[in-house]
Structure 1
Amino acid sequence: MTVGTQWRPDGDGGESGDGEARQIRVVVADDNPVVRSGLVALLEATGEVRVLGQASNGGEAIELTRRFAPDLVLLDVRMPLMDGITALRTLSGVTKVLMLTYTDNDEVIRTAIRNGAAGYLVHGTFTADELAAAVRDTVAGTNNPLSPAAVAALMAAVQGAEDRPAPPPRERSGGRTAAARPGHGLSAREAEVMDLIAQGRTNREIAERLFLTEKTVKNHVNRIFAKLGVTNRAAAIARWLGTAVEPR
């Protein structure tokens, strides 16, 4: 475990003392020291990110997160002592987590999304600029970055669900029957927005597609999250597409 030696609290968590915008505070967790060093160098070169510490396993990632309360944890899947998927169950309840790994197994991806990952990126499928944008978007909550493998895993789950016999239709408020996929109480417009979110669209893209303002889309997204009982787009997609584990 390595702690960032240059980190100092910014006080109120907004702007720094010299009036500059506050940097995004990150913990990097990967058991490969070469990968960790490369990620740290890449992120800090943007001038937007401050790496608070580096972890070589899930337990260290949890310890650093509890110590520094970062804005984001970049988390590998396969690590010794405690793997990333196990650590994610704790980390996702404390801060936002972006999976950053070589693992592209469908079930691992779906489990990560179910456990609260805000995004899932596979090494070799993104550029340095795309990673920096993914970090910004994840922290801002404007997008949940998914590599093609992650999108494919979610789509495979949906297709598998569609291949299963549909449950009997059930009544919705007003006496109308619902489709096989539950509506979760979403209005027609909210369902339209949620379908676009599931396609990986950003708020801006949704606004352009539906001829709405971004503020209106954001309001729809907030209401959708509340109705689905989730806090991020990845979890919303899993719930909407039927790949989330529902409470018994």
Structure 2
Amino acid sequence: MSQRVVIADDDALTRGGIRMVLAAIPGVEVVAEVADGKEARAAVERLKPDVVLMDIRMPGVDGLAALRTLTGPTRVIMLTTFGEEQYIDEALAHGAAGFVLKSSAAEELGPALRAAAAGEMFLSPPVTRHAVTRLRGFHAQPVPGADRLAELSEREIEVLKLLARGLSNTAISESLVISESTVKTHVSRILLKLECENRVQAALLATQSGLLR
């Protein structure tokens, strides 16, 4: 089954670059390109796409304003640049399925779309690092689920520490000198054992429990 995607970005060159990246991903069909949030809302209502790749800063109705008004099963992945991480909380609170950095869209759009199709969340590693760093100083009280860290193997702890620092699966595989498929297996087991829905939750649990100290 194909994923039907709408690209929402006010820059035509950026839309063209994203379209080229998506053309190389099997099973992905671009059904519309729009230049602002108002057009994105109209496209979602008309076409009922599976995913909208939504720029944050657009003239008129921006990406966050559009996200707040979208309803239905369409998932929204925010397109972001360095320096826009301050929008993470608002976007996630309104149901964004993740963040992809425009500078690394070629590497991140595939995993982000797969995560969206599976009902999961994808955050670009630098965005994960920002979220973890920002929350690192919060609350010194016990963290729910921290006791489950004892269920992880020594290798899983190593993977979790690198994941919590915002490393991608590829970077973790290079750091530990193991295959990327092995990393994916470890991450899946970590999420299962920690009862976390996604790697961001696992990263925050690891950080707030003091695992990185």
Aligned CA distance change for structure 1 residues 46 and 74 (closer, same or farther; 3 Å) = same
Deviations 1:145-179 (A, max 9, x none): 222331122113212424xxx5xxxxxxxxxxxx4
Q: Deviations over 1:172-200 (max 9, x none)?
A: xxxxxxx444x3xx69559979x96x847
Counterpart of 1:204 in structure 2 is 185
Residue 45 of structure 1 deviates from its aligned partner by 3.1
Distance 2:187 2:91 in 1: 25
TM-fit CA distance, 1:47 = 3.4
In the alignment of these two chains, the number of paired residues is 183
Change (3 A) 1:71 1:203: farther
Give the counterpart of 2:76 among 81, 91, 97. 97
The reply on whether 1:161 has 2:138 as its aligned counterpart is yes
Amino acid of the structure 1 residue aligned with 2:116: T
Contact 1:77 1:103 in 2 (8 A): no
Determine the structure 1 residue equivalent to 2:5. Answer: 26
Residues 5 and 50, structure 2, Cα contact 8 Å, conserved in 1: yes
Which residue is 1:169 aligned to? none
8 Å contact from structure 1 (residues 77, 101) kept in 2: yes
Q: Counterpart of 2:45?
A: 66
Structure 1 counterpart SS, 2:186: helix
State percent identity of aligned pairs. Answer: 35
Could you tell me how far apart the structure 1 residues matched to 2:63 and 2:185 are? 32
Which of 130, 135, 138 in structure 1 is aligned with 2:113?
135
Q: How does 1:41-56 map to 2 (within 5 A)?
A: 41-56=20-35
Q: What is the CA distance between 1:25 and its match in structure 2?
A: 0.8
- Contact kept? 1:27, 1:55, Cα under 8 Å: yes
Q: Indicate which of 98, 122, 127 corresponds to 1:150.
A: 127
| Residue 106, structure 1, aligned to residue 69, structure 2 | no
More helix by share: 2
Aligned to 1:176: none
Structure 2 Cα separation of the partners of residues 188 and 131 of structure 1: 34
The amino acid across from 1:104 in the alignment is G
Distance 1:189 1:48 in 2: 38
Distance (Å, rounded) in 2 between the aligned partners of 1:100 and 1:91: 16
Indicate the residue corresponding to 1:246 in structure 2: none
Deviation at 1:101, TM superposition (A): 2.4
Instruction: Say which one has the larger Rg.
Output: 1
The verdict on how the C-alpha distance between 1:63 and 1:24 changes in structure 2, with shifts beyond 3 A counting, is: same
Distance 1:68 1:130, change over 3 A: same
In 2 relative to 1, CA 192–79 (structure 1 residues): closer, same or farther, beyond 3 Å? farther
Shift of 1:208: 4.4
d(CA) in 1 for partners of 2:44 and 2:110?
20
SS in 1 for 2:19: helix
Unaligned runs of 5+ in 1: 1-21, 167-178, 211-216, 226-232, 242-248
List gaps (5 residues or longer) in structure 2: 170-182, 207-213
Output the amino acid matched with 1:136: R
1:170 maps to what in 2? none
TM-score, length basis structure 1? 0.59
- Match for residue 16 of structure 2? 37
